[in-house]
Amino acid sequence: MASRRHPAQAIAFASSDSPKLFIAIAETVYAISATTHETVATWKAPPAPIQGKPQSQALEVVGKAEEDGDAAEALPTGSEEVPATVTATEENTESTDVAMEDSPPSTRNQKKSEKRKAKNAAKPPPPPQPNYIGQLVPIVDRNLLAITTLEDKTLRLHNIDTLEVVKEWVLHKRPSAITLTPSTIIVGDKFGDVFSYEIPTSLETEEGNEGKLLLGHVSLLTTVTTATSLPPSQQNAQNGGSGDIKRYIITADRDEHIRITNYPLTHVIHGFCLGHTAFVNRLLITKDNLLVSGGGDDWLGLWNWKEGKLLQKMDMRTPVDSLLGLEDAKALTEKLRGYNKKRKRREEGEPEVDITIAVTDILEVDNREVIVILEGIPAMLRYKYTADSKLEYAGYIKAAGSITSLAVEGSRVYFGADSEEGALVSYADIADGETTATDFFDGKEFEGQTVEAVEIDAVNERLYTAEAFRKGFGGFMEDD
């Protein structure tokens, strides 16, 4: 397996005085001028803490160590042979265990702890995991860029021009979703909790500004957005001011739930939008203040979220089937199996040519249409608004490879694709009726990053994660 170029796993556009496109590749963020297409600033995430053995193996050891006050000790990191320095200890294991049968429990625990310490001290620490960038969210009116990093579970605010870090918060769990209110950053995590963080009023670091727990799900939280009781057009004309506008947080999880919660009084649940039968992975509030949802089902949902009513189901299966021929579908299926070896499959022996659909992003373009990207699919689907505020399929924009990231600025759509031959980042203008994409760098070299052959599988597991939300064989837990 040969090395390949690392795709952009996240991108964002900031329409400031000097507009920029931000590109995240592995643990590095690049700020690119939207006019000259040259790199103006970079920031690389600090190394992540060494985690030791996988969680499933570490829990048992940690639990025993905590009994003796040794939870902070290093954990075993692999199955390598123990060097000769501890062989003498292991030779006496049998006699020691016999003696321990007549020893008090505290003495036995102490001796076990000392043996673990000796083994741990003799083993080299494991290599640290790359501290991957999670989400990029510009806060243009504050001249800030919010960046989450996954391995060290941190939210940072950066100067939007220099990428200098001006504020950071260590999060409770790994971040899975992020959105903004006028004064706060709202972060959801894989544990199901949602926290808010006050955006500083200046670039100076503010002490004591910690996260506030807003709400929690009992399942893995996948996405979060905000909504108001009025669409933006009516908000601007509202005579009573912002005090008459009610605000809400809308969250979704792996258990098919879409919850609408009052904000900031988040102990009050306004209602639910129920109807999905697979995980919900993305939410979008449209120009008409309706909700679009998508995840592991073959359709997008259009909701009156205030009443919890499903107004429309937009088919995605037919466009995907028409986009991919039989041979392309077979090839893509095998490729996706390589991304996630536990991907949900049919009965053994039955050929699999259907692609299971997993939505990875939904965005609105210039109040004209909604665009959707699906995991592993080398195209974005377009849905136009109809006269009665519904949505209808309007075609697709083809990409050179699987689309891994998406951003919108006005009528222009920017996206990153996982392709060796095609552009790293491309764009298409919806207003001009473009159905083919243009290379953002216009064929110029971009430093980027190369993935070595031995690391390709690990990179794929980080980039292609939506399908793992699916329950049953192929999900995070095989016994769901």
CB contact at 8 A, 333 and 358: no
Each residue's pLDDT expressed in tens, for the chain with a length of 480 residues: 578 889 999 999 999 889 999 999 999 999 999 999 999 999 999 998 865 443 333 333 333 333 343 333 333 343 444 344 444 334 444 444 444 445 566 677 787 777 777 776 666 665 667 899 999 999 999 999 999 999 999 999 999 999 999 999 999 999 999 999 999 999 999 999 999 999 988 655 555 568 999 999 999 999 999 999 988 777 765 555 555 789 999 999 999 999 999 999 999 999 999 999 999 999 999 999 999 999 999 999 999 999 999 999 999 999 999 988 878 888 887 777 666 655 544 445 555 567 788 999 999 999 999 999 999 999 999 999 999 989 999 999 999 889 999 999 999 999 999 988 889 999 999 988 878 899 999 888 887 788 888 888 888 888 888 888 888 644 444 433
Provide the pLDDT for residue 473. 46
Alpha-carbon gap, residue 225 to 290, rounded angstroms: 12
The predicted model scores a pTM of 0.81
Provide the pLDDT for residue 315. 95
Provide the pLDDT for residue 389. 87
Provide the pLDDT for residue 447. 73
Provide the pLDDT for residue 107. 74
Provide the pLDDT for residue 83. 41
Provide the pLDDT for residue 88. 39
Provide the pLDDT for residue 204. 55
Provide the pLDDT for residue 324. 87
